Amino acid sequence: MAEDEELELLLSFDGASFEAAEGYVVEFMARRTEPTPQRPHGLSYALVFRPEDGEPFVRFDNAHAADRPGGKFVKASAAHDHWHRTANDPGRPYVFTSAAQLLEDFLARSETRDG
């Protein structure tokens, strides 16, 4: 699938919510934005896997910057792409390469719910 088609597929999920298994849902938000250093791919997104009435188990988003490992001597990316293991997890960096890879990584983490 071409990169533009992958992006259009992800964008088509914007606002969608699906039952992943009994009592669990996945939710998608994906919108075009102007490319910025924080969102160089021109995409604002949040992909969430959670219990029907609970806090997220897994969340991939670019709503804010996540702490970068390595301290102040490691150059951090300006991009805000990251993922969370739980609702209280501040997030860990995620390297966005394509819309298809984002979906694949999100689904893989949602299936295992591990770090």
The Cα–Cα gap between 50 and 70 comes to 30
Give the containing element (helix H, strand E) for 49.
strand 43-51
Range of the domain at 23: 3-70+78-112
The Cα–Cα gap between 24 and 11 comes to 22
Please tell me the total count of domains within the chain.
Answer: 1
Q: pTM (2 decimals)? A: 0.85
The Cα–Cα gap between 51 and 53 comes to 6
| Tens digits of residue pLDDT in 60-93 | 999 887 776 666 666 666 789 989 988 788 888 9
| Tens digits of residue pLDDT in 10-55 | 999 999 999 988 999 999 999 999 999 999 999 999 999 999 988 8
